Chains A and B, each alone.
Chain A
């Protein structure tokens, strides 16, 4: 089976998934202290509803967002609020955070399962909202908002993104392999919330074991509800898991520039998010734990860990036996992730992986002039001209690059990956966008 794919561009970076793909998800013991930033993702920062010295239970609401777009935050441990102060943050340098000291004697909280089939759509949606779920893959758009599309949108398909095309990351792979039934159930919950019947899970063909597991679970679950969850293998090609590419691969529908998936009748959810929806609705458990890939050749013991949100990276590194020849820390995958300068930042809801790269896995920063080989244009899945954007930005004319379609650039990094002159084309595109906006 060749597998479905998107129409143009794309690259085949080295996968590096072999480091962690065969490692079962492991539970990391809760740390002595957690740091929960009030701003973890897209949307307004949350407001604390707890005070210093207050006792909190694992799973208690500690911060909420009333009006604006955002998501509730829950305590990930049982203990005492130590302080609310500014702490290092993965993307914002510093951000106010609630710091909680864990009570070492508290037992983990138990949750009662429920049958989602008996719960109404509205209640399910409310459960998703109360659980503070956001898109766990990237920007972290609040999931309850995504699951309430405007009434004008005619949604007919739910897509679950199991592509996991970024090198190194194996979180979704392990979840699909170890908990296929939860993924399928979670998909059905979302289908019920959306009031539609069809879901398709797109998985890259390098995860054959996950495809088999999902197929088996889907077969066992079929017949129990009037819903159809299909599994579709896709070609192994980066960026297969990017929203527009994924939608095209699975439905041959193209989301126009500036548009959203529901413009073509589709809603996309990530696998980890689906698992969170399952836990929120079936187990009543809010989102304060997640599976994260910790990988890279500088890490002594790479792993797929289930960690508490708010666990500081240095605690994780200690648990995983430390690092050697560490040169670069990346949050997310190497293609679209971002570098971090300190181990003092916590795991947030949107952390899908943290990579500890050694000198062999890191490129030097020196870049040359563009030699017009055109490889970047060949690789760009959006059909843009990254080389022109780069040349314009370097010449101080970044504000003239809108005609090359920079606003369609989703910073996947394919262009920079293939560039023989190692030009930082993604940074150029970012600068161009800023300059166009500044220029009015």
Chain B
């Protein structure tokens, strides 16, 4: 888990560059509150305190990465209570939670503080104008003057998106490198991809879930996402919002995703399909969070339905001992 956290450091550094130190502070608050909440709840529930095992730290980082940089500094504390105390410790601790803790935190904040969570965007710092912006970014920023690309795309259409963020190529470039408004950790598809590939190479995650999720989003948004059939913008959909972060870091959470390859592919396709459904037809411009949470509910069932291929099983089925 420390490796997973470490692989997110580049993303963190970029977010400082893009949003100033505010993003870093929010992240630190989130990490500390997750660890503290875990320690307190474990004490209270009479369990061994394992808050330092790295899992709460990772939850803290990921939760901070899916909230906007302009929210008040105390907001992540509330998220941590939901993510760690309610979702993890009350369910039995590490390994027993059904939902991804970071996303539960975000969902709780979305439901309780919708204004902060949908409007506290910060425009990327323009370095040509203000070399000191990195420091100023922590304070006097007009947090509501901008909107995320997916929001614009959803409510005003592609033309408005091009107008506000430049031509199609600029959009792709900015999305990929990471210069656009959005949550702290979701701006740069490139860095998340780098981190994800690092985890793949280290054998910590497998490609089944990320690839099936991203491919499903690309295909479905291409088919259904435009004004005409096959007129969608798959690349915009894939590179924006939390999709990359979700696919590589949230969907691959061991505890809340299925264990077998085949089940993982089904899981990924489910996340992708639900994401597109929410983004195109639902009330939110962004659907990754709820898509993953919904598929998390199916994980125990997927684990039950898919079994590993046995090597040379007995000829007769064993006497069913289920009672």
Show the binding face of A for B, using Cβ within 8 Å.
Answer: 6-9, 244, 248, 254-259, 368-374, 377, 380-385, 387, 399-400, 402-403, 405, 407-408, 421, 436, 439
Indicate if the CB atoms of B255 and A372 lie closer than 8 Å: yes
CA–CA, A399 to B320, complex, Å?
Answer: 11
CA–CA, A371 to B59, complex, Å?
Answer: 14
One of B95, B255, B311 near A381 (C-beta < 8 A)? B311
Which positions 266-323 of chain B face chain A at CB distance < 8 Å? 303, 307-315, 318-323
- 14 additional contacts, CB 8 Å, given A374-B260, A402-B319? A9-B311, A254-B312, A256-B315, A257-B314, A371-B94, A372-B255, A373-B254, A377-B259, A382-B312, A383-B309, A384-B308, A399-B321, A403-B320, A403-B321
Q: Say if the beta carbon of B74 comes within 8 Å of chain A.
A: no
**In the complex, per-residue mask of B74-106: 1 if CB is within 8 Å of any chain A CB, else 0:** 000000000000000000011110000000000
B84 vs chain A, min Cβ distance (A): 15
Q: How large is the interface on B (under 10, 10 to 19, 20 to 34, 35 or more residues)?
A: 20 to 34
Residues in B whose Cβ lies below 8 Å from that of A255: 312
CA–CA, A282 to B53, complex, Å?
Answer: 61
Indicate if the CB atoms of B312 and A244 lie closer than 8 Å: yes
Which positions 50-84 of chain B face chain A at CB distance < 8 Å? 50, 53
A251 vs chain B, min Cβ distance (A): 13
A31 vs chain B, min Cβ distance (A): 44
Residues in A whose Cβ lies below 8 Å from that of B315: 256-259
CA–CA, A84 to B312, complex, Å?
Answer: 45
CA–CA, A368 to B127, complex, Å?
Answer: 48
Residues in B whose Cβ lies below 8 Å from that of A407: 314, 318
Residues in A whose Cβ lies below 8 Å from that of B95: 368-372, 421
A383 vs chain B, min Cβ distance (A): 4
Residues in A whose Cβ lies below 8 Å from that of B93: 369
**In the complex, per-residue mask of B248-265: 1 if CB is within 8 Å of any chain A CB, else 0:** 000000110101100000
Q: Which residue of B lies closest to A7 (CB)?
A: B311
- Given contacts A256-B313, A369-B94, A384-B308, is CB(A436)–CB(B321) below 8 Å? yes
Indicate if the CB atoms of B323 and A371 lie closer than 8 Å: no
Indicate if the CB atoms of A383 and B311 lie closer than 8 Å: yes
CA–CA, A436 to B315, complex, Å?
Answer: 20
- Given contacts A368-B50, A372-B95, A373-B254, is CB(A385)–CB(B321) below 8 Å? no
Leading 10 A-B pairs by shortest Cβ distance: A257-B314, A374-B259, A254-B312, A369-B95, A383-B310, A373-B254, A402-B321, A383-B308, A258-B314, A256-B315
CA–CA, A188 to B94, complex, Å?
Answer: 57
CA–CA, A377 to B307, complex, Å?
Answer: 10
30 contacts between A and B (CB under 8 A): A7-B311, A244-B311, A256-B313, A257-B312, A259-B314, A259-B315, A369-B94, A370-B95, A371-B94, A372-B95, A372-B254, A372-B255, A372-B257, A372-B303, A373-B259, A374-B254, A374-B259, A374-B260, A377-B260, A382-B310, A383-B313, A385-B308, A399-B321, A402-B318, A402-B320, A403-B320, A403-B322, A407-B314, A408-B313, A439-B321
